[in-house]
């Protein structure tokens, strides 16, 4: 070939029809006749009635090379509405047909960019903005740790764009095509090479186009007819109805999710497996028949002391000295303004609600009972001559620790040092409210 370009209109040697088999290109009648006797005829193969219209001409070629040459010829004759069909991509046919490079790569690039931006924004919004997630005090937004997921979302969106973009650009799925009516066309997925010119082409003329295809070396030419009635080309009504129903059914779960998002329920979460709620384990203070004492709790073993639990100092931990209530104070308790301030602060939290800030037994709880018409005064801690005033310090400490009558013990709320601080503060309340005038500091007496 010395012609500068394959697209040149000059017919090359390969473009000439094979002289030894001109009859291969069937006339209109021959083409239709062929189909009737191949045993697979469905009755509408290529024969057409009055309600059918011409869709186009389908020409068959033997080799990829012949198809390329024919495509060039058809294109050079000014046809635009034609296409080649082959079992595999024939390389070299794109320039022959004048197919422009697809813009799919640009679309995919935009899709990938969207994936990158969305993936990154998603991570930022979810982990740094909507719920700043503290991981070992690291910054909530640090790019390196977010790169892998942005990388994957970029690829994912690119792949989805490629896949769906390609099918959309190819106008597929399209389950039916007029050429599918021609039995011969089934070979397009096997070993057949076809060129179809559509009747809608502005240069289409049944006879001239047929001659063109013959000249291009077609081994077989067929006319393809389609049903002219518009209703024959629409989807059957029951399929449309089924699709509509399926679409509505598919919306039900979505609607349920939206309803659940928008409403509140007093019911607890519904769990498929309730083994988190009901675990096969013993909880404290529950019965358990298999232990000799019938209790789930296992106490300390006799003769053992847990670390830090010896508490051998009776005076400090129990307020007892020599079998009697301690009357003084343990050595660990320092009488100071700081201890008294601590005692007042603890007293105001734990004791004042019943005993009152002044210790007279009318805190907000008894006051409330009285307001409701009842009578339930707490013990007056400061009443002159009462047992609380004469009680040894050790016994007062013990009462705070373990409770008395309806009063609960406070050992679990107050550490030992705080309980002694409260003892000191109660003593200060008693002293301050039972002092004789002569005992007041100089300058404070009533004149």
Partner 1 sequence: MASPSEAAAGSDGEAQAVFRGITDDVSRVALNPTPKWWWPAFGVSNLMLLCLVVSLYHLFTTGIGVWGNNNIQGWAWDITNFVFWIGIGHAGTLISAVLYLFRQDWRTSINRSAEAMTIFAVAAAGIFPIIHTGRPWFAWWMIPHPNDMGMWPQFRSPLMWDVFAISTYATTSILFWYMGMVPDLATLRDRAKERWKQVGYGLLALGWRGSARQWHRYERAYLILAALSTPLVLSVHSVVSFDFATSQNPGWHTTIFPPYFVAGAIFSGFAMVATLLVPLRHLCGLKHIIKESHIEAMCKIMIATGLMVGGAYGIEIFIAWYSGNAGEWFTFRNRVLGEYSWAYFAMVSCNVLVPQFFWIRKCRTNPWIVVGLCILINVGMWFERFVIIATSLARQAMPGMWGYFSPTRWDVLTFIGSFGLFFTLFLLFARFLPVIAMAEVKAVSPEAHAGKDHH
Identify residues 82-141 at the interface with partner 1 (CB under 8 A). Answer: 83-94, 97, 99, 101-102, 104-105, 108, 122-123, 126-127, 130-131, 133, 135, 138
Pairing outcome for strands 324-325 and 320-321: antiparallel
Q: Buried b vs exposed e over 157-176: b needs ≥16 C-beta within 10 Å? A: bbeebbeebeeeeeeeeeee
* Gap between the Cα atoms of 82 and 92, Å rounded: 17
**Residue whose CB is less far from partner 1, 13 or 312:** 13
**Residue whose CB is less far from partner 1, 110 or 352:** 110
Q: Could you tell me the two tokens for 369? A: 């009972």
Closest distance between partner 1 and the C-beta of residue 349, in Å? Answer: 34
CA atoms within 13 A on the CB side of 178: 22
**Residue whose CB is less far from partner 1, 94 or 383:** 94
* Gap between the Cα atoms of 368 and 445, Å rounded: 36
Report yes or no: 220 and 59 within 8 Å, Cβ to Cβ.
yes
Closest distance between partner 1 and the C-beta of residue 249, in Å? Answer: 20
* Gap between the Cα atoms of 327 and 321, Å rounded: 8
- The verdict on 437 binding partner 1 (CB under 8 A) reads no
Contact range with partner 1 by CB under 8 A, out of 41-49, 147-155, 225-233, 306-314:
147-155
- The verdict on 60 binding partner 1 (CB under 8 A) reads no
Closest distance between partner 1 and the C-beta of residue 177, in Å? Answer: 5
- The verdict on 272 binding partner 1 (CB under 8 A) reads yes
- The verdict on 18 binding partner 1 (CB under 8 A) reads yes
Site for partner 1 in 232-261 (CB under 8 A): 261
Contact range with partner 1 by CB under 8 A, out of 44-52, 169-177, 240-248, 413-421:
169-177
Q: Could you tell me the two tokens for 281? A: 């384990």
**Residue whose CB is less far from partner 1, 91 or 281:** 91
Report yes or no: 398 and 419 within 8 Å, Cβ to Cβ.
no
Report yes or no: 59 and 213 within 8 Å, Cβ to Cβ.
yes
- The verdict on 155 binding partner 1 (CB under 8 A) reads yes
Contact range with partner 1 by CB under 8 A, out of 162-170, 197-205, 377-385, 415-423:
162-170
Q: Could you tell me the two tokens for 86? A: 């082959």
One of 46, 153, 393, 398 touching partner 1 (CB under 8 A)? 153
Q: 279-318 mask for partner 1 (x: CB under 8 A)?
A: ----------------------------------------
Closest distance between partner 1 and the C-beta of residue 282, in Å? Answer: 18
Q: Could you tell me the two tokens for 305? A: 């002391």
- The verdict on 209 binding partner 1 (CB under 8 A) reads no
**Residue whose CB is less far from partner 1, 150 or 393:** 150
Q: Buried b vs exposed e over 9-33: b needs ≥16 C-beta within 10 Å? A: eeeeeebeeeeeeeebbbeeeebbe
* Gap between the Cα atoms of 194 and 185, Å rounded: 8
Closest distance between partner 1 and the C-beta of residue 142, in Å? Answer: 8
CA 240 to chain centre: 33
């Amino acid at each position: 070939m010395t012609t500068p370009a394959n697209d040149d209109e000059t017919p090359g040697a390969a473009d000439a029809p094979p002289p030894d088999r001109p009859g291969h290109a069937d006339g209109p009648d021959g083409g239709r006749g062929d189909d009737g006797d191949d045993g697979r005829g469905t009755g509408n193969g290529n024969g057409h009635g009055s309600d059918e219209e011409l869709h186009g001409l389908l020409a068959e070629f033997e080799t990829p090379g012949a198809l390329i040459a024919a495509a060039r010829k058809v294109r050079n004759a000014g046809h635009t509405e034609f296409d080649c069909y082959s079992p595999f991509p024939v390389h070299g046919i794109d320039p022959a047909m004048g197919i422009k490079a697809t813009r799919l790569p640009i679309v995919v690039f935009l899709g990938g960019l969207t994936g990158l931006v969305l993936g990154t924004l998603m991570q930022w919004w979810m982990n740094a903005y909507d719920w700043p997630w503290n991981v070992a005090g690291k910054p909530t937004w640090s790019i390196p740790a977010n790169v892998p997921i942005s990388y994957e979302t970029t690829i994912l969106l690119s792949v989805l764009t490629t896949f769906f973009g390609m099918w959309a650009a190819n106008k597929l799925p399209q389950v039916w095509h007029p050429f599918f009516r021609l039995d011969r066309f089934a070979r397009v997925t096997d070993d057949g090479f076809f060129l179809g010119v559509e009747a809608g082409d502005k240069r289409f003329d049944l006879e001239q186009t047929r001659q063109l295809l013959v000249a291009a070396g077609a081994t077989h030419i067929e006319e393809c007819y389609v049903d002219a009635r518009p209703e024959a080309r629409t989807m059957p009504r029951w399929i449309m109805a089924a699709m509509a129903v399926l679409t509505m059914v598919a919306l039900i779960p979505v609607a349920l999710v939206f309803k659940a998002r928008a409403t509140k329920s007093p019911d607890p979460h519904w769990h498929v497996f309730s083994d988190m709620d009901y675990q096969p384990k013993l909880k404290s203070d529950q019965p358990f028949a298999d232990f000799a004492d019938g209790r789930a709790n296992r106490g300390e073993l006799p003769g053992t002391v847990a670390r830090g639990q010896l508490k051998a100092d009776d005076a400090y931990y129990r307020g007892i000295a020599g079998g009697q209530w301690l009357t003084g104070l343990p050595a660990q308790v320092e009488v100071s303004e700081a201890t008294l301030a601590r005692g007042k602060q603890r007293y105001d939290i734990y004791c004042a609600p019943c005993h009152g800030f002044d210790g007279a037994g009318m805190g907000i709880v008894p006051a409330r009972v009285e307001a409701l018409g009842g009578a339930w005064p707490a013990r007056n801690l400061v009443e002159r001559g009462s047992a609380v005033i004469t009680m040894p310090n050790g016994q007062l400490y013990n009462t705070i620790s373990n409770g008395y009558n309806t009063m609960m013990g406070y050992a679990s709320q107050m550490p030992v040092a705080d309980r002694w601080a409260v003892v000191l503060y109660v003593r200060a309340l008693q002293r301050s409210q039972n002092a004789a005038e002569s005992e007041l500091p100089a300058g404070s007496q009533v004149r």
